[in-house]
Chain A
Amino acid sequence: EAGVVQSPRYKIIEKKQPVAFWCNPISGHNTLYWYLQNLGQGPELLIRYENEEAVDDSQLPKDRFSAERLKGVDSTLKIQPAELGDSAVYLCASSRSGLITDTQYFGPGTRLTVL
């Protein structure tokens, strides 16, 4: 079974530029998560999708961040414009459902550096 795929793995941009991250979840997984992980911290949830519906985006800074999950499979997370403080690892995870006992499987993440 293929794992969660993310691209790119690394991205370096100048501040005020836009950036986008892509995630392909494990086949058959209906729930998709985007997390932000700052250096020395644990992952923090940005948004959770059930199929194509964003059911929890309370932690997503909506002034500059946006996400979509067309057709309930792949997902894209966008930042526009990027700020210095956005430098972090962006993790995507998926699970069969959003149930508490369904394991979340994480991708390798995209490390973003904003200069």
Chain B
Amino acid sequence: DQQVKQNSPSLSVQEGRISILNCDYTNSMFDYFLWYKKYPAEGPTFLISISSIKDKNEDGRFTVFLNKSAKHLSLHIVPSQPGDSAVYFCAAEIQGAQKLVFGQGTRLTINP
């Protein structure tokens, strides 16, 4: 039972353009969402998060959007840079459960 799904295993974007990574979830109890970024041979690193009381959170080039009615969140990277090439995981958490549930990841490749 995959509660957090990233349906695109890979995404290729030209440098300078917008990258949009998508994530869907099924559990309506999730109330906190995060994006992690992972380079090869390294552990995931926290990128940005959003609480269910918000629909948008922005940090520099990164913006996360949350659509609770659709149970969908997305990560926008503008402009995309070569260093953004990595695997991106979305994760969700239930308040009080203190347990992250991760999606399968999307490999983003930024082409020069």
Contact = CB atoms under 8 A, between A and B. Distances in A.
B43 A106 contact: yes
A99 B32 CA distance: 11
Interface residues of A, number: 22
B41 interface: yes
B91 interface: yes
Give the most central of B4, B103, B105: most A CB within 10 Å. B105
Give the most central of B36, B41, B44: most A CB within 10 Å. B44
Nearest to B36: A106
Interface residues of B, number: 23
A43 B99 contact: no
A106 B44 contact: yes
Contacts of A98: 98
- Secondary structure at the A interface, as helix, strand, loop or mixed, is loop
Contacts, number: 52
A56 B89 CA distance: 22
Contacts of B46: 103-105
B105 A41 contact: yes
Interface string B36-57: 1000011111100100000000
B28 interface: no
A56 B102 CA distance: 17
Contacts of A42: 4, 89, 91, 102-105
A106 B45 contact: yes
Interface of A: 4, 40-45, 48, 56, 91, 93, 98-101, 103-109
29 contacts: A40-B9, A40-B105, A41-B102, A42-B4, A42-B89, A42-B91, A42-B102, A42-B103, A43-B44, A43-B100, A44-B102, A48-B98, A48-B99, A91-B43, A93-B43, A100-B93, A100-B95, A100-B96, A100-B98, A101-B32, A101-B49, A103-B46, A105-B45, A105-B46, A106-B36, A106-B44, A106-B45, A107-B43, A109-B43
